[in-house]
Structure 1
Amino acid sequence: MRPGEELPPLEVPITRTLIVAGAIASRDYQDVHHDAELARAKGSPDIFMNILTTNGLVGRYITDHFGPTAILRKVAIRLGAPNHPGDTMVLTGTVERVEATPEGDTATVGVVGANGVGRHVTGTVTVTVPAGGAA
């Protein structure tokens, strides 16, 4: 891993099941994440993904790339355009900085998740790959 390295993109189909299951799994029972009629009444064209599901997908993107021994140290994200059913979010990332630590190499990775409307998520993830781990 080195600064400037680009991670391969990950396409995530945005389905109703993913949105609703993510909301339930994170105990986010806001109606806009499971009830299309109420979401429309509140001005949204449909239900939309919650931030905790997005956070989990960003974490998965990083650990899929750096391997099962990777340790997420910090995930800092900001939401933008909503993820609605029927769209696809494409996650991309770039290694911004790498530091050797006693635990292994620690990288800061800039992440963007874009969909058909625009940027759904932007942020940074700090990840440590223990010595002898994948990457």
Structure 2
Amino acid sequence: MKAGEELPPMEIAVTRTLIVAGAVASRDYQDVHHDAEAAREKGSPDIFMNILTTNGLVGRYVTDSLGAGVRLRAVKIRLGAPNYPGDTMVLRGTVAEVDGAAGTAEITVVGANGIGNHVTGTVKVAFEGAFEDASRAVFQGAASQDGGSA
């Protein structure tokens, strides 16, 4: 993996079920995520996806694209155009930087739908081995401070 490399795009059908299930699963009971009439009363043409569902989809996109040996370290996103039922969101990612010594990479992600960019952001990942090495170093450091050994 190197800076500038593009991840394969991922298409996600934005269904009413996905929007409602994502809101319920993340305990977001705001009516604009499950009640079309209430959403219209508040100025929206329909229910729309919440940020927690989007955050999960961005994380899934990156881990699915990079493989099982990847762990999310940070997901920083900003919402734009709402995801409404019946649309499709296409997620695309580009490797922004790679730190081989630390075993990490930062991926820039954009998710667009029929009316514009729904989400933009960055995802920092650690690769298997780097995560375990960092955890081992922390454990060994703590053990040496109290006189124990790892």
TM range (shorter): over 0.9
- Higher-Rg structure is 2
Between Structure 1 and Structure 2, how many residues are aligned? 130
Q: Distance in 1 between matches of 2:92 and 2:63?
A: 13
In structure 1, stretches of 5+ residues that fail to align are none
| Alignment of structure 1 residues 80-99 onto 2, 5 Å | 80-99=80-99
Q: Distance in 2 between matches of 1:131 and 1:69?
A: 8
Deviation at 1:69, TM superposition (A): 2.3
Query: Where is the strand percentage greater, Structure 1 or Structure 2?
Result: 1
What amino acid does structure 2 have at the position aligned with 1:40?
R
Equivalent residue for 2:20?
20
After TM superposition, the runs of 4+ consecutive aligned structure 1 residues lying more than 3 A away are: none
Contact 1:106 1:127 in 2 (8 A): yes
What amino acid does structure 2 have at the position aligned with 1:25?
A
Q: Percent identity?
A: 71
Deviation at 1:101, TM superposition (A): 3.4
TM-score (norm 1): 0.93
Q: Higher relative contact order by CA 8 Å / sep ≥ 6: 1 or 2?
A: 1
Deviation at 1:109, TM superposition (A): 0.4
CA RMSD of aligned residues (A): 1.2
